[in-house]
Amino acid sequence: MKLIAVDLDGTLLNADSRISEVNASAVRKAQESGIKVAIATGRAVYDVQEKLKEAGLNAPIISANGAAVHDDQKRLLISYPMDRSLAFSVLAWLEENEFYYEVMTDQAIYSPQKGHQILTIEMDRVLSANPDVTLKELIYATEKQYSQAGIVRIASYEHIPQEAEIYNILAFSLEEHKLEKGRSRFRNDSSLTMVVSSDHNFEVEDTRASKGNALAYLASHLGIPMEDTVAIGDSYNDISMLTSAGKGIAMGNAHDEIKALCDDVTLTNIENGVAYAIERLLEEACPSPSNL
């Protein structure tokens, strides 16, 4: 094993969206033993760099679900931006259907000014229709959307700067029927790729962009065969890398369908499942004398 690709949300990040010290030191231990550890996430690269900095880590980054790959010197290795007119047609549909969205680009994350209002309205509707859902759950679900680094509010998608490369469009809704309407609109559209990374979202990107493709690119860039790679993740947008890596490890908190596709299952993100998986991988690669 020479390269480990690790997802962030629901995987390396804990409940507070941070990298715990236990996980950070396991990553450092792997790096010190000569193993490359890459981050592979739907988040934007500058957002990931903030998270890594907080944890005192440095790593190659596969961002925007594989639409961009940076090395550990922050240099862009490759990107698969969306065709601008295709991206704009997706965004026009999302605005017409009053979706909260985020457009990840090489410049910033663009999100509509009335995004907050849209989510507040949805929250009210969900709460009045489902007395069992608590406000706390809904706020928790929306928190990630508000806490990212690099968000710029715009009146409409038409204000996205001409020179911005559009990597990924994320649509978010608390309402199931609305979410399903969006997912079914884009699921079978062969001009783009749609993936789901949480219970409340869907994301669209260029057909060349996937975590699996990006991992294959990074591995070949580093001269590492795919058999020597490991991927760790928890959700549907991880399937491409979990199934193409030499070994796929599902988080304990992953859906059963994801676990079924993997070679191994580790603990949950709250239980530092990444650290646990890395310790086991290191042990397999170099068994300690007491276990021989």
CB of 174 to Ca ion, least distance (A): 18
Residue 220 Cβ vs Ca ion, minimum distance, rounded to whole Å: 24
Q: Is 264 a catalytic residue?
A: no
166 conformational bin, left if phi > 0, alpha if psi -120 to 50, beta if neither: beta
Burial class (CB in 10 A: 0-12, 13-18, 19+), 245: buried
Q: How far apart are the first and last CA of the chain?
A: 20
Q: Write the burial class of residue 107 (CB in 10 Å: 0-12 exposed, 13-18 middle, 19+ buried).
A: middle
Of 68 and 224, the one with the shorter C-beta distance to Ca ion is: 68
Stretch that binds Ca ion, among 5-13, 137-145, 179-187, 265-273 (CB under 5 A): 5-13
Contact residue for Ca ion among 1, 3, 6, 9 (CB under 5 A): 9
Q: Which residue is nearest to Ca ion (CB)?
A: 10
Near Ca ion by CB under 5 A, which window of 10-18, 71-79, 155-163, 224-232? Answer: 10-18
Residues 6+ apart with CB under 8 A from 140: none
Residue 114 tokens, joined: 């009335």
Q: Which is nearer to Ca ion, 7 or 205 (CB)?
A: 7
Tell me which residue has tokens 């903030």.
50
- Any alpha helices (H) in 130-272, and if so which ranges? 135-146, 176-187, 211-221, 239-244, 256-261
Which 192-251 positions form the footprint of Ca ion (CB under 5 A)? 234-235
| Set 7, 9, 234, 238: catalytic member | 7
Q: Which is nearer to Ca ion, 10 or 212 (CB)?
A: 10
Q: Least Å distance between CB 60 and Ca ion?
A: 18
Least CB distance from residue 173 to Ca ion, whole Å?
18
Which is closer to Ca ion, CB of 6 or CB of 91? 6
Among 6, 10, 145, 173, binds Ca ion (CB under 5 A): 10
CA 257 to chain centre: 18
**Whole-number Å distance between alpha carbons of 68 and 105:** 10
Min CB(237)–Ca ion separation in Å? 7
**Contact indicator for 34, 289 with CB cutoff of 8 Å:** no
Catalytic residues, which ones?
7
Residues that bind Ca ion (CB under 5 A): 7, 9-10, 234-235
